[in-house]
């Protein structure tokens, strides 16, 4: 009897250990299942920050989307799908495990998916409310707090883990748990083309100098600490920053036809190219011509080769497509599973303002800095100086 009891205990312990090992090393799944008239393909990638990817096919429509939710690697987490045809839109609302609604109503029209908060259609809101859908979750209701004659901050919209910095004429203004300023220059500097936010750092040329400089100021936007990186060479102000790769900032001096690498880690400046060998990065290293460098060709860290758009980026498993329309760029998202099916996200008037940050995209919209997430667009800062000076940049770092 004791032998049987011991054997049973050993079996249970071994079984639970085996279950834990399988769970720990399980990197995800792909399953297909049906709910009513809809076929669902569900893919979980635990290597991709617990993102679930879905393709829902039915009612002569197909919708792709993703959510970030920790369901302990569960399968078949969509439990209900509500469908309505409203005008020319085919709209669905998935309901997930534990009766959770984790996404806005999604509406398909002409191979483009629109979230209900962008359509602002009362019929959509009214027909899905009875299923527990709350359209107010996707509206920006934050009120602004005036900081100065030119700046308004929307504190309720500031993400808790994001450190935000904006250029001022003498340095930076930081927004984390509280607002603070970092002074870099004694006098106002209105244009700072040799500057860049990268990761948690801001780097800028020494604009206290006149024609050439040999010093870069660096500010940590998390703690506000300021430091300097000196160059053995004098660098012309007729230079531009090409981009940043893995903590190294690359600059091309158009007067000297020299390319420099500024290491934020080792705090040094190294010449790495000249007119006969200029490095270029677009997801992989290559070279560019002197003519391209003189015309200020910049690195494309998220380059995607998709034709028909003014800009195409790949970030994570998604592609972001920018199409010019009047004075704005319409921004769409698509994924590697179906590049033809687009999701409308937002509009921006400044392609240089785009910051990809995990599940958020920061961007500029006229005098506002905003971010987009699955909850819609949220305004974080209004700066009326942007109306006269478009060179003012925003930086963000997520801890």
Q: What is the pLDDT along the chain (399 residues), one digit of tens a residue?
A: 555 555 555 455 444 444 443 344 446 899 999 999 999 999 997 665 568 999 999 988 899 998 888 888 899 999 999 999 999 999 999 999 999 999 999 999 999 999 999 998 999 999 999 999 999 999 999 999 999 999 999 999 999 999 999 999 999 999 987 889 999 999 999 999 999 999 999 999 999 999 999 999 999 999 999 999 999 999 999 999 999 999 999 999 999 999 999 999 999 999 999 999 999 999 999 999 999 999 999 999 999 989 999 999 999 889 999 999 999 999 999 987 777 899 999 999 999 999 999 889 999 999 999 999 989 999 999 999 999 999 999 999 998
Question: 258 and 123 in one domain?
Answer: no
In a domain, 6, yes or no: no
pLDDT number for residue 73:
86
Half-sphere exposure of 76 (CA within 13 A, CB side): 7
Question: 110 and 233 in one domain?
Answer: no
Question: 334 and 198 in one domain?
Answer: yes
In a domain, 17, yes or no: no
Buried b (16+ CB within 10 A) or exposed e, 242-274: bbbbeebbbbbbbebebbbbbebeeeebeeebe
Secondary structure in 3-state letters for 219-261: EECCCCCEEEEEEEEEEECCEEEEEEECCEEEEEECCCCEEEE
In a domain, 190, yes or no: yes
Question: 219 and 104 in one domain?
Answer: no
User: Among residues 138, 169, 196, which one ends one of the domains?
Assistant: 138
In a domain, 8, yes or no: no
For residues 176 and 179, give the distance between their C-alpha atoms in angstroms, rounded to a whole number: 6
* Residues ≥6 apart with Cβ < 8 Å to 98: none
Which residue is listed with tokens 């936010």? 197
Question: 212 and 260 in one domain?
Answer: yes
In a domain, 280, yes or no: yes
pLDDT number for residue 255:
97
pLDDT number for residue 269:
98
pLDDT number for residue 23:
42
Single out the residue of 385, 363, 381 nearest to residue 372, CA to CA.
Answer: 363
In a domain, 18, yes or no: no
For residues 262 and 271, give the distance between their C-alpha atoms in angstroms, rounded to a whole number: 9
Into how many domains does the chain fold? Answer: 2
pLDDT number for residue 47:
64
User: Among residues 138, 164, 181, which one ends one of the domains?
Assistant: 138
User: Among residues 85, 114, 138, which one ends one of the domains?
Assistant: 138
Residue 173's Cβ-count burial label (10 Å; 0-12, 13-18, 19+) is: buried
Residue 215's CB is within 10 A of a number of other CB atoms, namely 14
Question: 210 and 129 in one domain?
Answer: no
Question: 114 and 76 in one domain?
Answer: yes
For residues 270 and 149, give the distance between their C-alpha atoms in angstroms, rounded to a whole number: 42
For residues 267 and 25, give the distance between their C-alpha atoms in angstroms, rounded to a whole number: 40
Q: CA 261, 262, 263, 267 torsion: positive or negative?
A: positive
Question: 344 and 203 in one domain?
Answer: yes
In a domain, 149, yes or no: yes
Question: 344 and 249 in one domain?
Answer: yes
Question: 324 and 215 in one domain?
Answer: yes
What CATH number is associated with residue 390?
A: 2.120.10
Domain that holds residue 100: 28-138
Question: 267 and 314 in one domain?
Answer: yes
For residues 279 and 273, give the distance between their C-alpha atoms in angstroms, rounded to a whole number: 7
Question: 287 and 153 in one domain?
Answer: yes
In a domain, 12, yes or no: no
For residues 58 and 41, give the distance between their C-alpha atoms in angstroms, rounded to a whole number: 12
């Amino acid at each position: 009897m004791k032998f049987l009891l011991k054997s049973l205990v050993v079996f249970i312990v071994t079984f639970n250990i085996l279950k834990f090992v399988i769970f720990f090393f399980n990197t995800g799944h792909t399953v297909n299942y049906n709910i009513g008239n809809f076929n669902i393909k569900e893919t979980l990638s635990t290597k991709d920050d617990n993102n679930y990817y879905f393709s829902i096919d039915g009612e002569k429509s197909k919708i792709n989307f993703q959510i970030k939710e920790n369901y302990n690697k569960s399968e078949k987490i969509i439990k209900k799908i509500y469908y309505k045809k409203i005008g020319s839109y085919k709209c669905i609302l998935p309901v997930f495990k534990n009766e959770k609604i984790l996404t806005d109503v999604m509406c398909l029209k002409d191979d483009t998916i629109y979230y209900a908060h962008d359509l602002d259609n009362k019929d959509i809101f009214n027909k899905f409310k009875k299923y527990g859908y709350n359209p107010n979750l996707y509206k920006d209701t934050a009120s602004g707090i005036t900081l100065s004659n030119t700046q308004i901050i929307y504190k309720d919209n500031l993400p808790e883990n994001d450190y935000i910095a904006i250029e001022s004429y003498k340095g930076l203004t930081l927004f984390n748990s509280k607002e603070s300023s970092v002074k870099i220059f004694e006098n106002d500097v209105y244009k700072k083309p040799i500057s860049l936010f990268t990761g948690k750092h801001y780097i800028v040329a020494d604009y206290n100098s006149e024609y050439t400089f040999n010093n870069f100021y660096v500010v940590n936007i998390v703690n506000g600490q300021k430091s300097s990186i000196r160059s053995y060479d004098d660098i012309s102000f007729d230079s531009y920053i090409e981009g940043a790769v893995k903590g190294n900032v690359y600059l091309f001096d158009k007067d000297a036809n020299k390319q420099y690498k500024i290491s934020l880690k080792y705090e040094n400046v190294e010449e790495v190219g000249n007119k006969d060998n200029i490095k270029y990065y677009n997801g992989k290293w290559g070279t560019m011509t002197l003519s391209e460098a003189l015309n200020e060709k910049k690195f494309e860290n998220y380059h995607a080769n998709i034709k028909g758009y003014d800009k195409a980026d790949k970030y994570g498993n998604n592609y972001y497509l920018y199409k010019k329309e009047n004075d704005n760029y319409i921004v769409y998202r698509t994924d590697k599973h179906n590049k033809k099916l687009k999701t409308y996200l937002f509009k921006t008037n400044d392609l240089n303002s785009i910051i990809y940050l995990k599940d958020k995209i920061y961007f500029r919209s006229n005098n506002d800095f905003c971010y987009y997430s699955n909850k819609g667009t949220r305004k974080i800062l209004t700066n009326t100086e942007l109306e006269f000076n478009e060179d003012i940049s925003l930086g963000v770092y997520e801890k």
